[in-house]
Structure 1
Amino acid sequence: MCQGSRFSAFLSKLTHAVFVSIFTKQVIAPRSIFLFLFISDLFLSPLTRVVKTMSFLYFSYIFFSSLVVTGLLPSFLICQRVAGKSVKGFRERLGVVPAQKIRLLTGTPRIWIHAASLGEVRVAAAVVNALREKIPECSIIVSTMTESGRNLACKTFGRRVPVIYAPVDFPGSVRLSLSTVRPDIMVFLETEIWPVWVWQARRMGIRIVLINGRISLSSFRNYVRFRPFFQEVLESFSAFSMITESDAERLRAMGADPRKIEIHGNAKYDLLKKEPDRAVEGKYRRLLEINADDRVLVAGSTRNGEEALILDAYAVLQEEFPGLILVIAPRHIDRVPEIGALLQKRGFRYQLRTDFPGNSRTAGIIIVDTFGELFDIYSIGNIVFCGGSLVPLGGQNPLEPAFWGKAVFYGPYMQNFPDATAVLEAADAGVMVADARSLADRALWFLSRPLELDRIGKRARQAVIGQGGAAEKHAEEIKRTLG
């Protein structure tokens, strides 16, 4: 770089530092200026060296995504300042890992597991347990993308495993976090394929594996449009430990080396083999004032368009069972006001989960407006409907309500969970419904026949018990890759 270019870059960074200082009404200390210049160099300098090590397509992705991040960051900080709010874990997302977290990593090898949100954290828990048995001397750190995922991870692992927010997929933030953690292996769960993170880890000599890997049909259609790009990303992985043969086939079609691919099943099922804690059911019955003889339909992880269909079925069921309680847990809780408006329009009274405790239950419908409780709330249902399946969005895991021994209903769109659906259907323990009418008819049939309702629930529970062992196989793949 010529001296003029260096001076222009320096001047640009200094101007930005002055702007930030003026905006925040702080005096610029010399050390603050040099710290800002150091951080800017840390974030931007990797881009000056990538052309020699990757294709133009890969470089373009990193370059333009970096432009977006650096372009939006000042505006984002201004909005934060004006609104008086801060993003949880903002420093960690920029790659600054707290020193106290690093001090907990006392063993070797050092394993970093990235679990994006709630579902992946549950998988991580099963894999961590298996790793502790196979590599007792290892140290493990877990990262998440979402606040709900982080909260569950902290609750699940306690002080045994440090938990951090994942860095933004941006050269500087990823490089800073990897340099701080210094993992021997980077473990991504399910569909977490982050191009910049993968590239930076490979450059630093860190092994990379994908475990409990799954590629949904909808994701696959997007991936294959950019096959040359993703083929290059996948080249950096040392191993792929997939859930099903279909997942493996899609990964091969994306350009992954077939020699690196193994099929080991779904580690989510390992946590479902334990005996259900019946105290959980009692807790939620008391909390929501639902008696043991009350009939309850739980609609979990519902998506836009499904609530109207569920209400159509509920209206029919109420004619025969006027005391039937409906619990609606939307996949995204920011849709709660929208669902509430729909209920009011249809003439249904409802309460929110956060109304309890503190209020008596006066309505037949409860909307769950909290994170992380759905799995436990399944325990109070007689029938559980898995959302995202009456609309073409791939469904939700039907084995979670099956864990509690419930009659599990789902729509025709379960393509994200073909293995779980097959497990239930092989045991005659899953009920597929095509629309609101069939949902009402099948629910009416089972609610009118308590013995049959109990039998299908027991079959579902037995089907879950028959699964398991995948977490140990995924952990073995990690151990093998470490060498």
Structure 2
Amino acid sequence: MNIYHFAYNFFTFGLSLIVLPAIWCHERKDPERKLALTQRLGYDLRPLDPVGSGRPLVWIHAVSVGEVKAAEAIVDAMKVSGIKAAILLTTTTMTGQRDACRRFAGRATVRYAPVDLWGATRRFLWVYRPDLLVCMETEIWPNWIANAHGAGIKTVFVNGRISDRSSHSYMKIRRLMKPVLERVDAFSMISEADARRIISLGAPAHRVQVNGNAKMDAPDLYRSEVGIQTLRQFYAVEENTPVFIAGSIRGAEADILMTVYERLATQIPELVFILAPRHLSRSSRIADIARAKGVEWQYRTQLGEPGVARSAPVVILDTIGELRDVYSIASVVFCGASLVPLGGQNVLEAAVWAKPVLFGPSMEDFEEARTLLETAGGGICVKDGMDLAERALHLLMHPGEARRLGRLAKRAVLSNQGAARRHARVVAELLPDIESRAL
């Protein structure tokens, strides 16, 4: 342990002594939150489920729902390729934990990940003793990696992604990051840009490879036509009803988009406008804006009540995990966190449904996806709210053009599938005593 790692542990331990008592007093009142915190501190670590016993144990960490979906695609690719391993899947968020329990029921052990404290990490590794640690995307936790390395456990970053903003933040602590990254056995990154950034932080270049985005291979990537029709009925829209969906909106975008809606509605009175905040706590803020402007609105959760159908032109999506499917009924999609300087969101989730995708100029966290769609002609960057309204109005009033752009967007996604298999190959190469490496 070098001086920087020692300082990191000194700081995090001291901070935990201050913060954890208050968190414990709050979380212990809720059984689910209490279990999550207990497991994250390295206690109440229940035995492995009897799934794949006798095989090498792969600990896969997926922060939340998006990473869990990518992890499922990679685990499925491992199975199809004959790779035999037991899976221990951890998440950080409770929504990710619920989704993981649903997706991996009967085929993996699902637990909460330990916080990156020295003691919590060592207790977790001592109880479960994995043979390989797989970090989805780029979860750089110094104590996880140091303790795994010390215990002879190999580590790999899979579906690795590191944004330009994150890279700049990590560069400020490069003297801590570089020794940590040198202990990682392999880096299976999404793009060339991600590879360059992780190397600049200290990852050995000969251990870094580019294998694409496994989220494009997610097993629930496509809804059946029956499923789409069910969604249309739920939201009371016909196949030719103009539907504009603004997904993962953040900050001042709520005000901007409500103004965009007012402009669109004057030209398209039958328009259905669905807004999905990135954080549910912002739902009430959107409702306040709509109320102040005299716009009729409903929460998505209200539509599930008996006898309540959609009647308002504006719907606020106040649920978790539904946005990707709801994109399937859109005519035009806007992906948020991009009109404000917050790095953007994943535009490919809408593109897979063959929808034209609009986004603002701030796409630093998803620049490869942006480039992919713009190059294919299925994605359009807008400068501001006025430009967004004009572009959206044109596409909504010219549905044939919107469908053409949507087909281009979907084609771009399809041309980049197969990443899960390539990432699975990297995992297989690091597993001990593997029965089959036939990839």
- Range of TM-score over shorter length: over 0.9
Unpaired runs of 5+ residues, structure 2, are 433-439
- Per-residue deviation, 1:80: 4.2
For 2:364, what is the secondary structure of its paired residue?
coil
Output the amino acid matched with 1:450. Answer: P
Q: Deviations over 1:381-431 (max 9, x none)?
A: 100101111112121111111111111111111122222222222221112
Output the amino acid matched with 2:7. Answer: S
Give the distance between the partners of 1:427 and 1:83, measured in 2 at CA: 48
- Per-residue deviation, 1:303: 0.8
For 1:291, what is the secondary structure of its paired residue?
coil
For 1:348, what is the secondary structure of its paired residue?
coil
Output the amino acid matched with 2:21. Answer: P
Partner of 1:33 in structure 2? none
Give the distance between the partners of 1:114 and 1:97, measured in 2 at CA: 18
CA spacing shift, 1:278–1:107, aligned 2, 3 Å: farther
Q: Deviations over 1:239-294 (max 9, x none)?
A: 11111111111111111111111111111112279654222222222222223332
Partner of 1:455 in structure 2? 404
Residue range with higher mean Cα deviation, 113-122 or 283-292: 283-292
Residue 317 in 1 paired to residue 264 in 2?
Answer: yes
Match of 1:479 among 420, 428, 438: 428
Partner of 2:20 in structure 1? 73
Give the distance between the partners of 1:305 and 1:95, measured in 2 at CA: 39
8 Å contact 1:224–1:254 — kept in the other structure? yes
For 1:89, what is the secondary structure of its paired residue?
helix
Partner of 1:352 in structure 2? 299
CA spacing shift, 1:58–1:98, aligned 2, 3 Å: closer
Residue 63 in 1 paired to residue 3 in 2?
Answer: no
CA spacing shift, 1:312–1:397, aligned 2, 3 Å: same
Give the distance between the partners of 1:455 and 1:198, measured in 2 at CA: 47
Give the distance between the partners of 1:267 and 1:84, measured in 2 at CA: 34
Give the distance between the partners of 2:33 and 2:136, measured in 1 at CA: 28
Partner of 2:435 in structure 1? none
Residue 171 in 1 paired to residue 171 in 2?
Answer: no
Output the amino acid matched with 2:50. Answer: R
- Per-residue deviation, 1:148: 1.0
Residue 141 in 1 paired to residue 69 in 2?
Answer: no
Partner of 1:113 in structure 2? 60
Residue 389 in 1 paired to residue 331 in 2?
Answer: no
CA spacing shift, 1:272–1:446, aligned 2, 3 Å: farther
Q: Deviations over 1:111-150 (max 9, x none)?
A: 0100001111111011111122335321111100011111
For 1:179, what is the secondary structure of its paired residue?
helix
Partner of 1:92 in structure 2? 39
CA spacing shift, 1:85–1:79, aligned 2, 3 Å: farther
> Which structure carries more relative contact order (alpha carbon 8 Å, separation 6+)?
2
CA spacing shift, 1:422–1:82, aligned 2, 3 Å: closer
- The total of aligned residue pairs comes to 430
Output the amino acid matched with 2:91. Answer: T
Match of 2:358 among 402, 405, 409: 409
Partner of 1:8 in structure 2? none
TM-score normalised by the chain length of structure 2: 0.93
Partner of 1:199 in structure 2? 146
Partner of 1:295 in structure 2? 242
- Per-residue deviation, 1:83: 8.5
Instruction: Give the 5 Å matches for 1:4-23.
Output: none
Output the amino acid matched with 1:77. Answer: W
Query: RMSD value over aligned CA atoms?
Result: 1.9
CA spacing shift, 1:88–1:316, aligned 2, 3 Å: farther
Partner of 2:75 in structure 1? 128
Looking at secondary structure, tell me which structure has more helix per residue: 1
TM-score normalised by the chain length of structure 1: 0.85
8 Å contact 1:270–1:467 — kept in the other structure? no
Give the distance between the partners of 1:159 and 1:84, measured in 2 at CA: 23
Give the distance between the partners of 1:430 and 1:229, measured in 2 at CA: 38
Unpaired runs of 5+ residues, structure 1, are 1-53
Give the distance between the partners of 2:30 and 2:104, measured in 1 at CA: 33
8 Å contact 2:83–2:428 — kept in the other structure? no
For 2:155, what is the secondary structure of its paired residue?
strand
- Per-residue deviation, 1:164: 1.0
Partner of 2:437 in structure 1? none
8 Å contact 1:330–1:336 — kept in the other structure? yes
Residue 186 in 1 paired to residue 133 in 2?
Answer: yes
Give the distance between the partners of 1:107 and 1:289, measured in 2 at CA: 51
- Per-residue deviation, 1:181: 1.3
Residue range with higher mean Cα deviation, 328-337 or 444-453: 444-453
Partner of 1:421 in structure 2? 370
Partner of 2:395 in structure 1? 446
Partner of 2:384 in structure 1? 435
- Per-residue deviation, 1:74: 2.8
**Quick check: which has more Rg, 1 or 2?**
1
Partner of 2:186 in structure 1? 239
8 Å contact 2:234–2:309 — kept in the other structure? no
CA spacing shift, 1:459–1:199, aligned 2, 3 Å: same
Partner of 1:6 in structure 2? none
CA spacing shift, 1:84–1:148, aligned 2, 3 Å: closer
8 Å contact 2:182–2:204 — kept in the other structure? yes
Output the amino acid matched with 2:260. Answer: A
Match of 1:277 among 211, 217, 224: 224
CA spacing shift, 1:272–1:391, aligned 2, 3 Å: farther
Give the distance between the partners of 1:327 and 1:272, measured in 2 at CA: 25
